Amino acid sequence: MVTIKSKKEIEYMKEACKVVAIMYKEIENKIKPGMSTWEVDEIAEKAIRSLGAVPAEKGYDIGIKGIPPFPASICISINDEVIHGIPSKNKIIKDGDIVSIDTVALKNGYNGDAARTFIIGNASKETKRLVDITKQAFFEGIKYAKPGYRVGDISHAIGEYVHSQGYSVIREFQGHGIGKEMHEDPGIPNYGKAGRGIRLEPGMTLAVEPMVIQGKPNILELNDGWTIVTEDGSLSAHYENTILITEKEPEILTIL
């Protein structure tokens, strides 16, 4: 069921989202070649907890037998890893890598969700372009995040823009509603036909998140049950914000 947030709930959402935005500033200032992904996770968790929130992804259980709860505060995915990479003391960030981080902060019973892809050191023009196109795809999508439009209008705009730039979107994962639960209705694919899905209304809070692949859209799941990688080894980038549907333009809650 899609939830319409009250004014008080929106204030709680904004508080949780601000935590995420501040956390990303911390990471942006500190991430560098030679760090382990575990060290980045520690920076993130410290920032989240210092602001009176908790990392909602830590201990998150998808309820599938044989797959343990997520063990860290952030998902951190490097290069051909699309999403859900697990932080590790043995995974070292190198010059030229792109590092995608996705995290959710829970505060006062409400969640804030965002993802960023960081370019580490000296990367190629092609790599930088992928990251830029992924971010722009989000902004192309939310042009339609207004009352009267439908979820499918956001999805269509993202997919059409990404494909026009010669890239692919993954179809198996999508954006979502967000509030008291990390994942709420509606689902927001990064492709599809315009004019489909529920009609958008003020008070809806949505996590819109293009996941873009430089090559073909095919993906694989690693044996850890979490990490998703590109089948052809091509690079992938991720950009996400929690937004609020208002009477006019959407409000991005996870940007300072």
Is 115 a member of any domain?
A: yes
Which are the contacts of 1, defined by CB distance < 8 A and separation ≥ 6?
184, 185
pTM above 0.95, yes or no: yes
Is 183 a member of any domain?
A: yes
Is 132 a member of any domain?
A: yes
For the stretch 158-175, pLDDT in tens is: 999 999 999 999 999 999
Is 71 a member of any domain?
A: yes
Is 69 a member of any domain?
A: yes
Q: Which structural domain range is residue 175 located in?
A: 7-252
The number of folded domains in the chain is: 1
Is 1 a member of any domain?
A: no
3-state secondary structure of 140: helix
Is 2 a member of any domain?
A: no
Is 45 a member of any domain?
A: yes
Residue 211 pLDDT:
98
- Per the listing, tokens 């309820």 go with 63
66 CB-side CA count, 13 A: 3
CATH assignment at residue 224: 3.90.230.10
Query: Which pLDDT band, with edges at 50, 70 and 90, does 204 fall under?
Result: very high
